[in-house]
């Protein structure tokens, strides 16, 4: 029997999410930094892990891969072609499209340099739904730190994601949303959508639920890194009518120390 596809978060470490896509029988995991909580979930739901999708090389996203490969010998790992990995994997990058299982639609690979130079994302369309797995590039009301890339690279990567269909669900890999919203309010305090998101996110987190997935539309309305054209943000950063890349660079600098 074929079940409807589901995506569930598996909490790892303090604030990482391993996203688990499954059909009731088989599963695909995104960025399994820790094998233990994922294995517990697979056992509880009686799921077989068929594939792993990796967005970038940081340990909190790949730390569980070796254990999972030992546990599931037929497992296939897909990882960024511009990064080095010691474990067996299939390298992928833009404009690749591929099927990682026979039950999941084709995945489209997006190159998203900035957080790391080889960072990628995965985009899937299924039964009228659109799913973006973007690792540490785009966060709820935020974006990743620039560990390897330049502001120009991250700005371009975020613009690429902003151009996706607004209804696309955004599955990022850290629960940073509320802190990001607090920062966003410090530079765009009159944004009504942002104030509403603040209230909504507090309620969600108080209920001990994930603030994710978000949507591209919600990020466009509330994420300061996608709103460099906002006059209030430009005034807050003292960069009114300056190039958007300059505004972005300043926002990222301010967020680093927030």
Question: What are the residues whose beta carbons fall under 8 Å from the beta carbon of 153, sequence distance 6 or more?
Answer: 113, 114, 117
**Two tokens at 111?**
């190159």
pTM of the model: 0.97
pLDDT of residue 99: 97
* Residue burial 115-137, b: 16+ Cβ < 10 Å; e: rest: bbbbbbbbbbeeeeebbbbbbbb
Could you state, in order of their start, the residue ranges of all structural domains in the chain? 6-256
Question: What are the residues whose beta carbons fall under 8 Å from the beta carbon of 198, sequence distance 6 or more?
Answer: 178, 181, 182, 185
What's the CATH number for 6-256? 3.60.15.10
Q: How confident is the model at residue 2 (pLDDT cuts 50, 70, 90)?
A: low
Whether the predicted pLDDT of 76 surpasses 70: yes
- Longest CA–CA span in the chain (Å) reads 59
């Amino acid at each position: 029997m074929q079940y409807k596809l589901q995506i569930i978060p598996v909490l790892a470490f303090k604030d990482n999410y391993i996203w688990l896509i499954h059909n009731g029988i088989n599963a695909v995991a995104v960025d399994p930094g820790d094998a233990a909580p994922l294995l517990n979930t697979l056992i509880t739901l009686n799921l077989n892990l068929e594939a792993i999708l990796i967005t970038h090389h940081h340990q909190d996203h790949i730390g569980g891969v070796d254990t999972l490969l030992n546990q599931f010998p037929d497992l296939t790992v897909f990882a960024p072609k511009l990064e080095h990995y010691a474990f067996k994997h299939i390298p992928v990058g833009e404009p690749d499209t591929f099927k990682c299982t026979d039950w999941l639609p084709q995945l489209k690979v997006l190159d998203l340099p900035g957080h790391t130079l080889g960072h990628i994302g995965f985009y899937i369309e299924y039964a009228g739904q659109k799913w973006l797995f973007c690792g540490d590039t785009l966060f709820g009301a935020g974006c990743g730190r620039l560990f390897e890339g330049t502001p120009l690279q991250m700005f371009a990567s975020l613009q690429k994601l902003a151009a996706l269909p607004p209804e696309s669900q955004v599955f990022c890999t850290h629960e940073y949303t509320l802190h990001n919203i607090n920062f966003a309010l410090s530079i765009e305090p009159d944004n009504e959508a942002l104030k509403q998101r603040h209230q909504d996110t507090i309620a969600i987190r108080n209920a001990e639920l994930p603030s994710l997935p978000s949507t591209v539309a919600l990020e466009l309305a509330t994420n300061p890194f996608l709103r460099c054209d906002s006059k209030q943000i430009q005034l807050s950063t003292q960069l009114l009518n300056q190039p958007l890349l300059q505004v972005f660079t300043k926002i990222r600098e301010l967020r680093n120390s927030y």
